[in-house]
Chains A and B, each alone.
Chain A
Amino acid sequence: MKTMLIAFLAMAVIAIGADILLDFIGFSTEAMTSGPAVRSG
């Protein structure tokens, strides 16, 4: 049971980490679609 819970916790950590990392390296919708004259996201 402990291993299962650790795996679920890891899943949450990976998900949150992926979201933050992708934003950080410029893969957010805002960064990918905004231009000098267009603000999106």
Chain B
Amino acid sequence: MIRTFRRLLILALAMAPLAAVPATAQEGAGANKEMPRASTGGAQTLEDILARQRGQQIDDDFRREAVGDPARAAAIAAQLGTLGGASDSEVFRALRYGSADVTVSAKGAAAGIVIQDSGMWWLELREGPLLEWGGWLLVAMIAVVAVYLVVRGPIRIEGEKTGRMILRFTAIERFSHWLLAGSFILLGLTGLIVLFGRVALIPVFGKDFFSDIALASKWIHNNVAWAFIVALVMVFVCWVVHNVPNRADLVWLAKGGGLFSKHVHPPARKFNAGQKIIFWIVIILGISISASGLSLLFPFEMPMFAKTFEVLNALGLPQLVGMGELQTTMTPHEEMQYAQLWHTVVAFVFMAIIIAHIYLGSVGMEGAFESMESGEVDMQWAKEHHSLWYEEVVAEEQAAASRESPATPAE
């Protein structure tokens, strides 16, 4: 019995280290804080992979820094030498994280970046929500305009036309407008071709034919852009004076510009509040889209988003809307990706607004197209839609007439 008890005691003592295993494991877990991923020898763990798949940020220094150590390379003992202290995995890791000493023959900021893994979110956004939402925005705007046309109908000149025409837009104003309009339409169409080509055109026309269309679209988009920029400056110079907001704009806005009710013609000067809003939207979006367009036109030469994000972070705007600080260190590719996204988002908003402008400037309002085609409008049109401007023009004409034929003094 005693012998049996002694054996059990010896067995229990022998098992003691095993019984302590859980405690050791817990200690091990504690030790992992000091040396994480010890179980994989420093390589990523299943938890790292799962976290990445969940979209969580992980501290990837353990991979970023695992790029080998040439100083610890085995001595060259044979003619072929050694790997130089870095395995294939370590070499590729260094390439991926941009720490490899890369020498390339091709020029350009991006040529030395052999692997960049920051493009998948951009690609998914570009081929998914960006196309979908942008496309639906345009469709929605066309639908709104169509409903407006059906419900309200074209805005006619209500009074009797006088047949007397007055000059509304000079030749240089019309030239600037049509240069801007023509280039905008071409840029919009070619941009849509490039953006929707893969999903909408290749299935219809095939890859070979689309290749020709895409090449032509790219050439037009890249070069007509300069006409757009020139026209934007010209339009700004021509019309900025007439687009300064004034008190009449508040009245115009309060009455909805007469757009939603007949026989209502709120007073307006050369441009009413609606046209002023369009003007400033065109200028602001035009500058923005030109800037991102230039960044895309000269790839990697004009990066602007890292700097922009720095300014936004400093202003605290991302934090204000519940976002963390925006990324301020970017590869050249990431700069291009942000430029492309911004360019496209602005373009969709721009196109949606201009669809409404084109409607009102053509079939939506009698006499509107003629004002930009010949530059002249009927006096009745001017009286109804821009009464304050009409009064100014009439007063100027009367003043000019009195200067040319001063009243004969009584004898």
Interface residues of A, Cβ cutoff 8 Å to B = 1, 3-4, 6-8, 10-11, 14-16, 18-19, 27, 32-38, 40
Determine whether B226 belongs to the interface, using a CB cutoff of 8 Å to chain A: yes
Determine whether B45 belongs to the interface, using a CB cutoff of 8 Å to chain A: no
With contact pairs A19-B223, A33-B108 given, residues A27 and B175 touching in the complex (Cβ less than 8 Å): no
Question: Are B106 and A33 neighbours in the complex by a CB distance under 8 Å?
Answer: yes
Min distance, Cβ A5 to any Cβ of chain B, angstroms: 8
Interface residues of B, Cβ cutoff 8 Å to A = 104-108, 111, 171, 174-179, 182-183, 186, 219-220, 222-224, 226-227, 230, 298, 372-375
Partner of B183, one of A1, A11, A33, A34: A11
Residues of B within 8 A of A18 (CB): 223, 226
Min distance, Cβ B161 to any Cβ of chain A, angstroms: 20
Partner of B171, one of A3, A15, A33, A35: A3
Question: Are B178 and A7 neighbours in the complex by a CB distance under 8 Å?
Answer: yes
Question: Are A7 and B105 neighbours in the complex by a CB distance under 8 Å?
Answer: no
Q: Which residue of B lies closest to A4 (CB)?
A: B178
With contact pairs A1-B374, A10-B175 given, residues A15 and B227 touching in the complex (Cβ less than 8 Å): yes
Min distance, Cβ A18 to any Cβ of chain B, angstroms: 4
Residues of B within 8 A of A4 (CB): 174, 178, 182, 372-373
Question: Are B106 and A3 neighbours in the complex by a CB distance under 8 Å?
Answer: no
Task: Give A41 to B210 CA distance when docked, in angstroms.
Answer: 20
With contact pairs A10-B227, A27-B298, A38-B106 given, residues A1 and B111 touching in the complex (Cβ less than 8 Å): no
Q: Which residue of B lies closest to A27 (CB)?
A: B298
Residues of B within 8 A of A15 (CB): 220, 223-224, 226-227
Task: Give A9 to B217 CA distance when docked, in angstroms.
Answer: 18
Task: Give A39 to B16 CA distance when docked, in angstroms.
Answer: 73
Question: Are A34 and B106 neighbours in the complex by a CB distance under 8 Å?
Answer: yes
Task: Give A3 to B375 CA distance when docked, in angstroms.
Answer: 9
With contact pairs A8-B182, A10-B227, A18-B226 given, residues A38 and B105 touching in the complex (Cβ less than 8 Å): yes
Q: Which residue of A lies closest to B300 (CB)?
A: A32
Min distance, Cβ A26 to any Cβ of chain B, angstroms: 11
Residues of B within 8 A of A7 (CB): 174-179, 182
Q: Which residue of A lies closest to B177 (CB)?
A: A7
Complex A-B: 19 CB contacts under 8 Å: A1-B374, A3-B174, A3-B175, A3-B178, A4-B182, A7-B174, A7-B178, A7-B182, A14-B223, A14-B224, A19-B219, A19-B223, A33-B107, A33-B108, A34-B106, A35-B105, A35-B106, A38-B105, A38-B106
Task: Give A19 to B107 CA distance when docked, in angstroms.
Answer: 21
Residues of A within 8 A of B224 (CB): 11, 14-15
Task: Give A4 to B171 CA distance when docked, in angstroms.
Answer: 9
Q: Which residue of B lies closest to A36 (CB)?
A: B105
Residues of A within 8 A of B182 (CB): 4, 7-8, 11
Residues of A within 8 A of B375 (CB): 3
Partner of A14, one of B174, B176, B230, B374: B230
Task: Give A38 to B174 CA distance when docked, in angstroms.
Answer: 48
Question: Are B373 and A32 neighbours in the complex by a CB distance under 8 Å?
Answer: no
Residues of B within 8 A of A1 (CB): 373-374
Residues of B within 8 A of A33 (CB): 106-108, 111
Q: Which residue of A lies closest to B226 (CB)?
A: A18
Partner of B108, one of A32, A36, A37: A32
Task: Give A16 to B108 CA distance when docked, in angstroms.
Answer: 25
Task: Give A38 to B111 CA distance when docked, in angstroms.
Answer: 11
